[in-house]
Amino acid sequence: MQNNVERIHELVDRLNRYRNEYYNENNPSVDDSVYDHLYDELERLEKETGIILSNSPTQTVGYKAVSNLDKVIHPIPLLSLGKTKSVKDLISFLKKKTALLMLKLDGLTIKLVYEDGKLIEGSTRGDGEEGEIITHNVPAFRNVPLTIPYKNRLVITGEGFIHKSDFERLKDTLVGSDG
């Protein structure tokens, strides 16, 4: 049991370091597959031992926002679905319900709020409880309307992503001749 507790502490520390590199430094030191493998090990050990540390990455989504953007508290937390690599787990989860399954996109969860047909707020998921206001960036997103015919309040969440070719072009533009 003691070795499992030490391993849990080690995994939490490593995974939190990797999350910080990915979310805040934009400089991950490990591939997603390595992170996922360690995360799955942590999840398994937490279930076996019943020990879950308060700062465990299994208890949160995303990472605390550290930029200078204004913050927003989400009245309804923007949670993340658990990962599975098993068809058996999906079937068990769905039971006899009808569902649409799609491939996962690794992007940025965005919340859009419309009132009286106008976009009034765009924000990131952040850590699920607190995100960042990005309303000023939304006009640059393709296929996100700034006005809609629905006149009541509407809150939508979805995944924002950028195609790899567009990312490479943008990266080259931002680096410029100084890089």
Residue 150's CATH number:
3.30.470.30
Q: List, for residues 74-133, the tens digit of each pLDDT value.
A: 888 877 666 777 888 888 878 877 777 766 667 788 999 999 999 999 999 888 889 999
Annotation marks residue 104 as catalytic: yes
pLDDT higher at 54 or 57: 57
Query: Which residue type sits at 71?
Result: K
**Residues 42, 73: one domain?**
no
Query: Which residue type sits at 149?
Result: P
Distance between CA atoms of residues 170 and 154, nearest Å: 31
Among 104, 111, 118, 151, the active-site one is: 104
pLDDT at residue 172 greater than cutoff 60: yes
130-132 and 71-73: which strand pairing? antiparallel
Query: Which residue type sits at 53?
Result: L
Total domains, the chain? 2
Residue where a domain terminates, one of 11, 34, 59: 59
Q: Where are any strands of DSSP class E within 78-151?
A: 108-115, 118-124, 130-132
Instruction: Using a cut of 0.85, tell me whether the model's pTM lies above it.
Output: no
Residue 85 three-state SS: coil
The domain of 21 spans: 1-59
